[in-house]
Structure 1
Amino acid sequence: MSGMEQDPEVPARVREVIAAAGVTQREFARRIVMDPSKLSRSLGGTRRFTAAELARIADTADVDAAWLLGTRGGADPTAPRPEAAPRGRRAAAPPEGRPLQIIRETVRLIADHGFHAVRVQDIAKACETSTAAIHYHFPGRDDLLEAAARWCMDEDTARRAARIAEAADAADELRQLIELQTPRTTRQRDQWSVWLDLWAEAARSTAVGRLHTEYYRQWRDTVADVVRRGVAQRVFRPVDPDAAALHLTALIDGLATQVLAAAPEGPGTRPDDMHAALLAHVDATLTAH
């Protein structure tokens, strides 16, 4: 992969993902918009997956991007969520994968019910385990909520790195970041819902809120760095990168909030509307014509 070494275990992880999807290799290639022969060679070890391909695999299969990319250790996260498991069957979760399952369910519950409404009992029920088992891995509720926040941030960082790793120039990098921030998938919507709750925590200066504030500063710096490279490459106008990042991230936040507030099938701001508005903003304020 451009700019990074590929973890030698990546092909094996992708095979696990395909097996969990329950489809043929050719059908999976179609779903991730990849040539079947390239997928076959990558799985066989004669060709490396590109970062963009791995990002599409993570998004399509709804698995942890950091695990798939090999940027974070951990157990197999491809086990279905409890609500996705066939009725009457327990969700698959090997003992070594329990902390990851707990964190994912915590994120889902926060997205569904709000930060302060989630109780340890609710998480234990979703994981089909006891509160004692939850406390074994996360002694206090605050520890668990902070771990959930960090997991969201790690996921976003891993996907961001994969998206921009093979961009042709800074303009393409910015388009990839915009696509990543557009809440199209269930996971993206869940994470945006968590972000909204974390903003409220940040306003109260709690530990989780401070964590979010620091992460958001890093996110804005990332956008500013992309704009700065674009100015140097002359694909962007000679603008103030920090001011441009402030305006763009604020627009992303506002539009994403409108998308989440809109009914899925009803009137309101749709993901495509948000995406188009952001690209129009970049074209009007940054693109060097």
Structure 2
Amino acid sequence: METDEGRASTSTAGTAARVREVIADAGVSQREFARRIVMDPSKLSRALSGTRRFTVAELARIADEGRVDADWLLGTRPRERETAPAVRVEGGRPLQIVRETVRLIAEHGFHAVRVADIARACATSSAAIHYHFPGRAELLEAAVRWCMDEDTARRATHLAEADDAAAELRQLIALQTPRTAQQRRQWAVWLDLWAEAARSTAVGRLHSEYYRQWRETVTDVLRRGAGQGVFRAGIDPHAAALTLTALIDGLATHVLSVSGPESATAADAMHRTLTTYVTHTILAP
């Protein structure tokens, strides 16, 4: 006779197998699928291996992205393809929710954003928001993770286009200079998250880990450039990365404090200052 524990194990394994099927149908990597459903890749990996269970909200986002019935994922109903909602928003409802959350954080601040505000921005109900993200904390964490993933992907694309480490460093400086509305929005979110990091909240710790990865990216570029001979001999990649990222942070904070036409002038000044600093202290003479 099968025990409750055995049935739960079988159910978990079946759900994981069906999620793998959805990922295969999507034709993307497991990490990319995790990004699309705004889920920590390590949590997705553990759920697929059976060491943790998918939450109801995670299954809702998987069903939305895969355009399948959530009940089929749970094994309680046969699969019916293309069961998307009548009104299909671009990228799916979860991503719409997350994008609007990021926009609202940038405009009003981390602690001022309410679920009701997000629902209004998405032209849906608070219940629909909670269907995908049960709590406000989970939603805000998902928004921060998505923001970081987008920034990482954009950075990787630009670095891949560079011919050498010097060109990579110029790309990084351009990406970190808040000229466009998107770049200013991203920086506004980062500024709010630094306060969370100082308070050592869950979201703050996530931001601290992301910032560590960002500084390591700069360090790797500097190390690579020293090996290529395009940067000064004897440069300390770690110390130089710490100084450069701190300079970027301070200058960007100043640019964001300026509004209107003056913001473009401030951004130009930031870019010139960073370029001059790199020329005189990092590039090989």
* TM-score, scaled to structure 2: 0.69
Give the deviation of 1:194 after TM superposition. 0.3
Cα 1:135–1:249 change in 2 (3 A) is same
Q: Does residue 119 in structure 1 map to residue 103 in structure 2?
A: no
Question: 1:15-65 CA distances to partner (integer Å, 9 max, x unpaired)?
Answer: xxxxxxxxxxxxxxxxxxxxxxxxxxxxxxxxxxxxxxxxxxxxxxxxxxx
Distance 1:212 1:129 in 2: 29
2:260 to 229, 240, 264: 264
Maintained 8 Å contact 2:179/2:264: no
Question: 1:221-249 CA distances to partner (integer Å, 9 max, x unpaired)?
Answer: 10001000111111001210000000000
Segments of structure 2 that go 5 or more residues without pairing to the other structure are 1-30, 38-63, 66-86
Distance 2:262 2:168 in 1: 32
Residue in 1 that maps onto 2:130 = 135
Q: Does residue 107 in structure 1 map to residue 108 in structure 2?
A: no
1:284 to 270, 280, 285: 280
Distance 1:153 1:274 in 2: 22
Equivalent residue runs for 1:159-170 within 5 Å: 159-170=154-165
Cα 1:128–1:268 change in 2 (3 A) is closer
Structure with bigger gyration radius: 2
* TM-score, scaled to structure 1: 0.68
Cα 1:179–1:267 change in 2 (3 A) is closer
- Name the amino acid aligned to 2:239: A
1:232 to 214, 224, 227: 227
Give the deviation of 1:73 after TM superposition. 4.0
Residue in 1 that maps onto 2:192 = 197
Residue in 2 that maps onto 1:253 = 249
- Name the amino acid aligned to 1:256: A
Maintained 8 Å contact 1:170/1:230: yes
Question: 1:80-99 CA distances to partner (integer Å, 9 max, x unpaired)?
Answer: xxxxxxxxxxxx85387110
Cα 1:218–1:95 change in 2 (3 A) is closer
Question: 1:185-236 CA distances to partner (integer Å, 9 max, x unpaired)?
Answer: 1111111000000000000000000000000000001000100011111100
Residue in 2 that maps onto 1:275 = 271
Give the deviation of 1:184 after TM superposition. 1.2
Equivalent residue runs for 1:10-49 within 5 Å: none
Distance 1:154 1:227 in 2: 22
Segments of structure 1 that go 5 or more residues without pairing to the other structure are 1-65, 77-91
Look up the SS of the partner of 2:92 in the other structure: helix
Higher mean alpha-carbon deviation, 188-197 vs 92-101, is at: 92-101
Identity of aligned residues (%): 69
Maintained 8 Å contact 1:184/1:271: yes
**Structure 1 runs, 4 residues or longer, greater than 6 Å off:** none
Distance 1:104 1:220 in 2: 25
Residue in 2 that maps onto 1:241 = 237
Distance 2:90 2:229 in 1: 52
Give the deviation of 1:72 after TM superposition. 4.6
Give the deviation of 1:269 after TM superposition. 5.7
Maintained 8 Å contact 1:258/1:269: no
Residue in 1 that maps onto 2:146 = 151
Maintained 8 Å contact 1:105/1:126: yes
